[in-house]
């Protein structure tokens, strides 16, 4: 049975197919929009959850690595540093017991090393766009992208909590939800 807090998260995220119309209205992306008008999803397989969650983590890590190099605001760099620090434990939990899942990315050799590409075309375009931004425009774009992608990730996790079948990943998703909510709230606050 889903508790009230989770029900609120699901409603807030809109189960927007991990990229719903509500995000298009709230995320002021300039060129590459994280929303492609996908239909809402009500379930996600374990393999898809793992793949999509790993892509979200890789995007978060790579974009944050860029932010440590290019961001102007100290608060943005601090935020990026925090997101990067959480990559390794999250990666380990997402890949644990994934013998049937092929094509897993490997963890970077150190805390600031570039990851092997494990993003879809949309996220790759977003990373390219971010890499070409400078100054305050970089800060704004980075934060807007984080807020948008985190909204998608919240919807993904909430959907998996309702439809998932792997006990370890379900426990991970439930435990991760408060942290994901906090990341999103921080991004929204930094965007102001």
In a domain, 124, yes or no: yes
In a domain, 42, yes or no: no
In a domain, 41, yes or no: no
In whole angstroms, give the CA distance from residue 135 to residue 118.
27
Range with lowest mean pLDDT among 16-20, 81-85, 115-119, 123-127? 16-20
Domains held by the chain: number: 1
In a domain, 162, yes or no: yes
- Convert the pLDDT of each residue in 136-168 to its tens digit: 999 999 999 999 999 999 999 999 999 999 999
Give the residue numbers spanning the domain of 192.
50-97+117-192
In a domain, 68, yes or no: yes
pLDDT at 15 over 80: no
Q: How far is CA 46 from the centre of its chain?
A: 17
Where residue 86 sits, what CATH number does that domain have? 1.20.1260.10
Task: Find, among 30, 11, 52, 48, the residue nearest to 149 by Cα.
Answer: 52
In a domain, 108, yes or no: no
- Convert the pLDDT of each residue in 106-144 to its tens digit: 555 555 555 555 668 888 899 999 999 999 999 999 999
In whole angstroms, give the CA distance from residue 112 to residue 125.
21
In a domain, 6, yes or no: no
Range with lowest mean pLDDT among 32-46, 73-87, 153-167? 32-46
Predicted TM-score (pTM) of this structure: 0.72
Regarding predicted confidence, which is higher, 159 or 104? Answer: 159
In whole angstroms, give the CA distance from residue 77 to residue 155.
26
């Amino acid at each position: 049975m889903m508790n009230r807090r989770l029900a609120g998260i699901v409603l807030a995220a809109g189960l927007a197919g991990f990229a719903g119309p509500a995000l298009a209205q709230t995320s002021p992306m300039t060129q590459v929009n994280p929303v492609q008008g996908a239909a809402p999803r009500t379930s996600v397989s374990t393999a898809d959850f793992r793949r999509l969650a790993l892509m979200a983590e890789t995007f978060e890590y790579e974009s944050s690595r860029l932010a440590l190099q290019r961001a102007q605001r100290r608060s943005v760099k601090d935020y990026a540093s925090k997101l990067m620090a959480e990559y390794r434990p999250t990666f380990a939990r997402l890949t644990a017991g994934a013998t049937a899942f092929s094509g897993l990315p490997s963890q970077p050799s150190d805390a600031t090393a570039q990851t092997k590409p494990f993003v879809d075309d949309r996220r790759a375009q977003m990373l390219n766009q971010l890499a070409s931004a400078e100054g305050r425009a970089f800060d704004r774009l980075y934060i807007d992208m984080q807020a948008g992608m985190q909204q998608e990730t919240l919807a993904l996790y909430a959907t998996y909590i309702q439809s998932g079948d792997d006990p370890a990943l379900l426990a991970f998703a439930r435990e991760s939800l408060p942290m994901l909510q906090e990341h999103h709230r921080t991004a929204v606050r930094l965007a102001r």
